[in-house]
Amino acid sequence: MNTKRLNKPRVPFSREELEELCLLYMEGSLDRREEKALMQLLTESGLSGEPFDEVLFLMGLSASETRNCGLSADNAVRSVGNGINGQVGCKKLRMSESLYKIVMTCAACVAMIMGVSSVWNYFCKPPENTMSYEVYVDGKKISDKDQSKEIALKTYEESQRFIAKMHEIEAETLRHAEQKKREMESILERMNSM
């Protein structure tokens, strides 16, 4: 197809010709002026469908990439030397800027984490490992550590003796119940045998 017609304004194109121009755009065969003319034709025509929507989307991305580089479309082509769609130089520039931003973001995160960790460790110290006993007997506080420890051990031993006594009572009750069960079984056996 002759793309020279793109440079002539207001020349009508058929749908098939526009589809072919879209394919040429996607292959990267159009120069910057032809791409601008195709963009203008597609936006004015209002055509929709598979190749038109896709090309308009890609052109939107290309326009935003050129704008992000801070170059006009013609300057981008000149500075790159006819790269792929005039975007090679912009991509290299954006990649280096992106890497710089990533490195700076990582450095800022590390600094922030270290700062928060330092502040946390400084102000949020764990309490010292000291145990204290407070013993009250008959409503009076006993402050002597040895005396309070002795009272606590004495109370613990008493509770252990009480638990042991309860186990003995439970075992005795079970033995008594087992004996009664055997007596009842023997009585039942005698009654059945009569």
Tell me the pLDDT tens digit for each residue of 119-142.
887 777 666 666 665 667 778 887
Q: What is the mean pLDDT of residues 93-109?
A: 76
Please check whether residues 80 and 15 belong to one and the same domain.
yes
- Do 50 and 22 form a contact (C-beta atoms < 8 A)? no
**Domain region containing 144:** 135-193
Question: pLDDT value at position 29?
Answer: 81
Q: What is the mean pLDDT of residues 186-193?
A: 89
User: With b meaning 16 or more CB within 10 Å and e meaning fewer, what string describes 81-104?
Assistant: eebebbbebbeeeeeeeeeeeeee
Tell me the pLDDT tens digit for each residue of 164-186.
999 999 999 999 999 999 999 99
Global pTM? Answer: 0.32
Please check whether residues 9 and 74 belong to one and the same domain.
yes
Tell me the pLDDT tens digit for each residue of 78-89.
444 444 444 444
Please check whether residues 77 and 142 belong to one and the same domain.
no
Please check whether residues 76 and 8 belong to one and the same domain.
yes
In a domain, 102, yes or no: no
Question: pLDDT value at position 166?
Answer: 93
Phi and psi at residue 81, to the nearest 5°? 85, 55
Q: What is the total count of domains within the chain?
A: 2
Domain boundary residue, one of 87, 122, 154: 87
